[in-house]
Amino acid sequence: MTEENEKPLDPVAQFILETLQHRVSATPIEIARALGEQRRRPIEKKADAWRRFLNPVKQQMVFLARSGEIEITRKGELLDPENFRGVVKMRLKQSH
């Protein structure tokens, strides 16, 4: 019998990876807005409802960067996922 040690990927992390498959890069705000639009309830009218997804997107961005799935950049420079600030973008890991 084989045991699977891998947990299923968080839905927010999965959304980030799927979005980055179709884009060169994206900011956490762009991902949160897209996720908010996808998950918006029909009765929800608040234009800024996407904001509730911003922290989960940032958390999963760091998780994915630590695991080597994506890279976090600012002005094209690669950043350490343990120590960064400011406006950043994420992209799929580049082959160097």
Per-residue pLDDT of the chain (96 residues; tens, 9 = 90+): 444 567 889 999 999 999 999 999 999 999 999 999 888 777 667 778 899 999 999 999 999 999 999 999 999 999 999 999 999 999 999 875
- Coil, strand or helix at 26: strand
**How much is the pLDDT for 44?**
64
CA distance 14 to 32: 13
Q: Which long-range contacts (CB under 8 A, 24 or more apart) does 49-57 make?
A: 53/12, 54/28, 54/29, 56/12, 57/12, 57/16, 57/28, 57/31, 57/32
**How much is the pLDDT for 2?**
43
Topology adopted by domain 11-92: Arc Repressor Mutant, subunit A (1.10.10)
